[in-house]
């Protein structure tokens, strides 16, 4: 890449790509875990290739496959099948397919190998020094902070917190609420076992005790925010859905008590294809008017919002113009494809300026950070470069300092609470 010392000033795109490359990113949503949390952190080629994005594509390539047989096979067999069907017998043209190819090349592994022998040996060796591998991956990805998705009601995760572990400061916590509120009263026995005096009926006592659970565990994890994924339609305020009642009466007050944002990840229709397990979720369009009413009724709550459907992204930008406590974030899951991420981000810049969080990785396997951020930097460079080039052509100031300042505000701070005036 040209440097400024080459006399002619860098173009806006060259400047943008250079500053993006150097930017220490705060990844606001992942499913990764602190390496001190034992086997919870997934890494290596077999976990990478059995990631549910590939699984959905495998069953399209091989509709004769029985999901039950697939899921009961050992992970290496599943990974070998994905590799053969999606990377050898066919060109890996999907976003996640192209991503894995680039990631393998960045580790100097052959992305066109006929089998996984080389990659499996490399990653098996790498994870022997897991902390060293984490250091290398974070360095390659240019990520300074990883926000986890933490669920105290998860029987595999809670004992790790109860046992205690030495925190890696680069891995921060987010309190995930799906298991607590989304299928009420399913969580009642688990909450009672933790000492919270809740009951099926959403009595004042139950609400108070649920709030206590949220505050206790937010503080225990030193979490940055509370997050929940929601169905497409909120129906606020008239819906009688228990989760909406719990969101309003317990979650929002608890977030206010600890002074943290609430992340709403909206649009999931869980398990429309149950035989595909994690790959079986789908999406639906969101009633953004409900978000406007929610933001209007709770002006002191900062809602970071991401929508799973392409529909509604424009309405979310307009809603965010009306309510500064609505902050769009990321291109989530099914809209994390360049054809849609670029459209969404251009729209957000056009309507909001640099006052949103353009991307998160949603990484589930450690090495995905390398490709998810490598790919995102590429399209972010195109989109942001265009906007700064247009600003510069109009006479606006575009310097390394102004670009660095804006990028840090959008991608380097995590989910920040507004400075109190």
**Contact residues: ligand HDL, CB under 6 A:** 31, 229, 265, 278, 333, 362, 364
Closest CA to 384 of 350, 337, 360: 350
Q: Which does 173 bind (CB under 5 to 8 A by kind): Zn ion, ligand HDL, none?
A: none
Rounded to an integer, what distance in angstroms lies between the CA atom of residue 393 and that of residue 372? 31
Closest to Zn ion by CB, 32 vs 210, is 32
Residue 178 interacts with Zn ion (CB under 5 A): yes or no? no
Rounded to an integer, what distance in angstroms lies between the CA atom of residue 25 and that of residue 143? 5
> For residue 275, what is the DSSP state?
G
Q: Which does 323 bind (CB under 5 to 8 A by kind): ligand HDL, Zn ion, none?
A: none
Helix (H) or strand (E) holding 146: strand 143-147
Question: In the complex, what is the shortest distance from the CB of residue 170 to ligand HDL, in angstroms, rounded to a whole number?
Answer: 20
Please count the residues of this chain forming the interface with Zn ion, following the rule CB under 5 A: 1
Closest to Zn ion by CB, 46 vs 362, is 362
Q: Are strands 171-172 and 262-266 parallel, antiparallel or unpaired?
A: unpaired
- What angle, rounded to 10 degrees, do the helices at 288-297 and 313-322 form? 20
Question: In the complex, what is the shortest distance from the CB of residue 281 to Zn ion, in angstroms, rounded to a whole number?
Answer: 11
Question: In the complex, what is the shortest distance from the CB of residue 31 to Zn ion, in angstroms, rounded to a whole number?
Answer: 6
Positive or negative, the Cα torsion across 106, 112, 115, 118? negative
Q: Which does 314 bind (CB under 5 to 8 A by kind): Zn ion, ligand HDL, none?
A: none
> What angle (nearest 5°) sits at the alpha carbon of residue 226, between those of residues 223 and 227?
130
Rounded to an integer, what distance in angstroms lies between the CA atom of residue 361 and that of residue 53? 14
> For residue 135, what is the DSSP state?
H
Closest to ligand HDL by CB, 227 vs 384, is 227
Report the Cα 203 to chain-centroid distance in Å. 33
Closest to ligand HDL by CB, 14 vs 145, is 145
Residue 27 interacts with Zn ion (CB under 5 A): yes or no? no
Phi, psi values for residue 325, rounded to 5°? -90, 10
Q: Which does 229 bind (CB under 5 to 8 A by kind): ligand HDL, Zn ion, none?
A: ligand HDL
Point out which span in 49-57, 70-78, 79-87, 358-366 binds Zn ion (CB under 5 A): 358-366
Closest to ligand HDL by CB, 278 vs 324, is 278
Cross-strand bridge partners of residue 4: none
Residue 151 interacts with Zn ion (CB under 5 A): yes or no? no
Closest to ligand HDL by CB, 19 vs 362, is 362
Q: Which does 278 bind (CB under 5 to 8 A by kind): ligand HDL, Zn ion, none?
A: ligand HDL
Residue 380: how many other CB atoms lie within 10 Å: 23
Among 141, 362, 365, 384, binds Zn ion (CB under 5 A): 362
Rounded to an integer, what distance in angstroms lies between the CA atom of residue 335 and that of residue 315? 16
Query: What sections of 156-278 are H helices per DSSP?
Result: 158-163, 178-181, 188-193, 204-221, 242-246, 252-258
Question: In the complex, what is the shortest distance from the CB of residue 52 to ligand HDL, in angstroms, rounded to a whole number?
Answer: 6
Residue 46 interacts with Zn ion (CB under 5 A): yes or no? no
Question: In the complex, what is the shortest distance from the CB of residue 69 to Zn ion, in angstroms, rounded to a whole number?
Answer: 27
The encoded tokens of residue 228 equal 């929940």
Point out which span in 52-60, 190-198, 340-348, 355-363 binds Zn ion (CB under 5 A): 355-363
Q: Which does 50 bind (CB under 5 to 8 A by kind): Zn ion, ligand HDL, none?
A: none
Question: In the complex, what is the shortest distance from the CB of residue 100 to Zn ion, in angstroms, rounded to a whole number?
Answer: 18
Pair 51, 75: CB distance under 8 Å: no
Closest to ligand HDL by CB, 27 vs 209, is 27
Report the Cα 30 to chain-centroid distance in Å. 5
Closest to Zn ion by CB, 329 vs 388, is 329
| Interface with Zn ion (CB under 5 A) | 362
């Amino acid at each position: 890449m040209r440097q400024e010392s080459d006399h002619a000033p860098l173009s806006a795109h060259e400047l943008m790509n250079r500053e993006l490359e150097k930017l220490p990113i705060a990844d606001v949503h992942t499913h990764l875990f602190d390496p001190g949390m034992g086997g919870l952190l997934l890494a290596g080629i077999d976990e990478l290739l059995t990631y549910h994005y590939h699984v959905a594509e495998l069953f399209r390539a091989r509709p004769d496959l029985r999901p039950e047989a697939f899921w009961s096979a050992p992970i290496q067999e599943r990974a070998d099948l994905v590799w053969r069907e999606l990377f050898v017998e066919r060109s890996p043209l999907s976003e996640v397919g192209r991503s894995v190819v680039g990631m393998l090349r960045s580790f100097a592994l052959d992305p066109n190998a006929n089998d996984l022998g080389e990659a499996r040996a490399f990653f098996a060796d790498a994870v022997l020094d897991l902390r060293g591998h984490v250091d290398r991956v974070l360095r390659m990805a240019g990520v300074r902070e990883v926000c986890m998705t933490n669920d105290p009601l998860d029987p595999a995760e809670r004992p790790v917190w109860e046992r205690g572990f030495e925190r890696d400061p680069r891995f921060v916590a987010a309190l995930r609420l799906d298991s607590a509120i989304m299928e009420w009263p399913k969580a009642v026995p688990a909450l009672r076992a933790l000492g919270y005096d809740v009951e099926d009926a959403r009595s004042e006592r139950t609400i108070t005790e649920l709030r206590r659970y949220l505050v206790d565990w937010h503080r225990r994890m030193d979490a940055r925010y509370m997050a929940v994924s929601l169905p497409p339609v909120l129906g606020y305020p008239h819906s009688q859905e228990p989760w909406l009642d719990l969101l309003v009466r317990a979650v929002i007050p608890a977030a206010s008590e600890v002074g943290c944002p609430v992340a709403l990840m909206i649009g999931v229709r869980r398990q429309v294809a149950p035989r595909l397990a994690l790959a079986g979720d789908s999406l639906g369009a969101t009633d953004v008017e409900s978000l406007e009413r929610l933001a209007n009724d709770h002006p002191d709550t900062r809602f970071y919002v991401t929508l799973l459907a392409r529909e509604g992204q424009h309405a979310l930008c307009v809603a965010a113009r009306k309510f500064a406590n609505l902050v769009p974030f990321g291109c989530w899951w099914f809209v994390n494809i360049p054809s849609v991420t670029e459209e969404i981000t251009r729209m957000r810049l056009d309507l909001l300026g640099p006052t949103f969080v353009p991307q998160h990785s949603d990484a589930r396997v450690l090495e995905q950070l390398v490709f998810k951020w490598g790919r995102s930097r590429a399209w972010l460079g195109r989109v942001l470069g265009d906007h700064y080039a247009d600003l510069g052509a109009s006479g606006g100031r575009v310097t390394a300092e102004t670009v660095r300042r804006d990028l840090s505000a959008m991608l380097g701070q995590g989910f920040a609470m507004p400075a109190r005036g």
